[in-house]
């Protein structure tokens, strides 16, 4: 396996840092990983390597304002911008691959966690034909917040979203709420690449994206694996479950919900004996549909 990194420039000039995990031989399918807020694609290395072991080429862009990518920290004017960046990176990658690995010829998949899950769902709602996908995996999607936001902070955020959208607010998230593996929690806490703020504009954009996805889910027909942990202290697992229930005829469209009892937000970073089953589920689901 080889890991390479590079910087691409989005159409508006924003630098997008991209990691690519590739097998030693010719890849059989392609997976794009979309990370969450206060996160970056490098934190999905274990999942990426597990996918590569089955023949995948894995692409992991850092979203704008996050990780090593450019843009104001923790800011976006609309989640449609994230969707556009992800599609643009996928198309840029496709343009460099042989005919046998083009989206029209080979299986392409999308994996999104937390905010990345919301972005993945928004892509399926708004851009279902933008690029052929064999399926999507969504982990703990941001369809609601479990954390109680003080009323004063909510009011400040609404006001600043109108008058100064780039007004930055700290991400008040205890690292211990992310997962229960102490090593992974310590690494998360010390990670210098994490953006530790979100802007008032980002928060308003998040709410608009949740509303758009919630309304559009009944029309999603892409094969889908959505999984949540009932111990999630960051996103609202019940909101994600209600979102899944809005899908029309999920069995007919190969759409599945899996619930992991007691698991925290980053199910792939739970203690080894717990996360092993999560990784097996994700890799197995994708591998089966890759053929």
Q: Where are the domains of the chain?
A: 2-290
For the chain, percent of residues with pLDDT exceeding 70: 98
Q: In terms of Cα–Cα distance, which of 153, 183, 162 is closest to 266?
A: 183
Residues 6 or more apart from 123 whose CB is under 8 A from it? 83, 86, 87, 110, 130
First to last CA, the chain: 21
Phi, psi of 98 (to 5 degrees): -70, 165
Is the distance from CB of 121 to CB of 206 less than 8 angstroms?
Answer: no
Mean of pLDDT values over 79-87: 98
State the pLDDT at residue 171: 87
pLDDT tens-digit map of 96-148: 999 999 999 999 999 999 999 999 999 999 999 999 999 999 999 999 999 77
Joined together, the tokens standing for residue 47 give: 């999942």
CATH of 2-290, one of 2.102.10.10, 3.40.50.1820, 1.20.1250.20, 3.60.70.12: 3.40.50.1820
- Helix or strand (DSSP H, E) at 136: strand 135-139
Three-state DSSP state, 16: strand
Average pLDDT (223-243) is 98
Distance of alpha carbon 291 from alpha carbon 272, whole angstroms: 28
Enter the pTM of the model: 0.97
Q: What is the pLDDT of residues 142-188, one digit of tens each?
A: 999 997 776 666 776 777 778 889 989 888 889 999 999 999 999 99
Give the gyration radius of the chain's Cα atoms.
18
Q: How many CB atoms lie within 10 A of CB 219?
A: 12
**35 vs 159: CA distance, rounded Å:** 28
In percent, the amount of the chain with pLDDT more than 90 equals: 91
Closest CA to 239 of 124, 145, 138, 118: 145
pLDDT at 173: 87
Per-residue confidence (pLDDT) for residue 213, from 0 to 100: 98
Note the pLDDT of residue 162: 83
Quick one: 35 exposed, middle or buried, by C-beta within 10 A (0-12, 13-18, 19+)? Answer: buried
């Amino acid at each position: 396996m080889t890991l390479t990194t590079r910087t691409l420039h989005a159409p508006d000039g924003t630098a997008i840092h991209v990691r690519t995990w590739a097998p030693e031989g010719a890849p059989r399918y392609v997976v794009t990983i979309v990370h969450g807020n206060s996160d970056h694609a490098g934190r999905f290395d274990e999942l990426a390597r597990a996918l590569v072991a089955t023949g995948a080429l894995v692409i992991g862009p850092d979203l704008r304002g996050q990780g090593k990518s450019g843009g104001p920290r923790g800011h976006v004017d609309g989640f449609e911008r994230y969707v556009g960046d992800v599609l643009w990176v996928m198309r840029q990658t496709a343009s460099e691959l042989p005919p046998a690995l083009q989206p029209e010829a080979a299986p392409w998949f999308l994996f999104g966690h937390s905010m990345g899950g919301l972005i993945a769902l928004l892509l399926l709602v708004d851009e279902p034909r933008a690029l052929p996908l064999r399926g999507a995996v969504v982990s703990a999607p941001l369809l609601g917040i479990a954390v109680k936001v003080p009323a004063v902070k909510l009011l400040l955020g609404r006001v600043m979203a109108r008058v100064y959208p780039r007004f930055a607010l700290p991400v008040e998230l205890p690292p211990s709420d992310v997962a229960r593996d102490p090593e992974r929690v310590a690494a998360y806490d010390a990670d210098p690449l994490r953006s530790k703020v979100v802007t008032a504009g980002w928060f308003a954009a998040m709410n608009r994206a949740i509303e758009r996805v919630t309304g559009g889910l009944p029309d999603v027909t892409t094969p889908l694996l959505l999984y949540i942990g009932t111990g999630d202290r960051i996103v609202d697992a019940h909101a994600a479950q209600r979102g899944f229930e809005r899908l029309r005829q999920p069995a007919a469209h190969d759409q599945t919900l899996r619930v992991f009892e007691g698991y925290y937000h980053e199910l792939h970073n739970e203690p080894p004996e717990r996360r092993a089953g999560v990784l097996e589920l994700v890799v197995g689901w994708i591998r089966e549909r890759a053929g």
